[in-house]
Amino acid sequence: MIRRLFLQEKPVEILISISRMETPYASRILREVDTTFAHAVKILSTMEDLGIIESERSGRIKALKLTPHGEVLAESLNNFLEACKVDPDAEAEKIRGIAERILSRLDQIYREEIEGKKRLKHRDMVRISRRIAPYERELKRLERMSGGDKETYILEIKEKIAWIKREKEQITSS
């Protein structure tokens, strides 16, 4: 059961986040790991059942603590992840390639959906939002890959998405 749990990305992120935080709370872990509440609760519950963490309720807040077994697992996983780190230049190149692809697709969405239009119907606005949404999720993934660095291309993607949304709203409100 432990093997299956830690061959997945989110449980590893949750365990390492708990080990790094001075006062880990379920809500803080949820935000840091960027997962749904239900998924985080399921993982935390499994970890508690396996004796990896302990939790203590204080009102509405659930404080978390690693057990000695959890500390060993967290340290081992952290060491493993450090050993798996790739060449920073190769990683940056990979991120840059993904960013360029996203920017190209966003340009395509703009050309196909907004450029030259005087008015947009509600269904057009919904379609545009749905076409942009996967790239907003991809942007979050890129930010995590880059370690939260505000790389130029990440900022460029954010600006492009915001610009498309503004253009969409401007056409709609005119």
Domain hosting 22: range is 2-84
- The model's pLDDT over 41-88, given as tens digits with 9 standing for 90+, comes to 899 899 999 999 998 888 888 888 999 999 999 999 888 888 777 677
Question: Do 15 and 78 lie in a common domain?
Answer: yes
CA–CA dist 164, 110 (Å, integer): 7
Question: Do 50 and 77 lie in a common domain?
Answer: yes
Selected residue with higher pLDDT from 34 and 19: 19
- Please provide the average confidence, as pLDDT, over all residues in the chain: 86
SS3 64: strand
Contact yes or no for 69/23 (Cβ under 8 A): no
Selected residue with higher pLDDT from 31 and 126: 126
* Percent of residues, the chain, with pLDDT higher than 70: 91
Count of structural domains within the chain: 2
Q: Is the pLDDT of residue 171 over 60?
A: yes
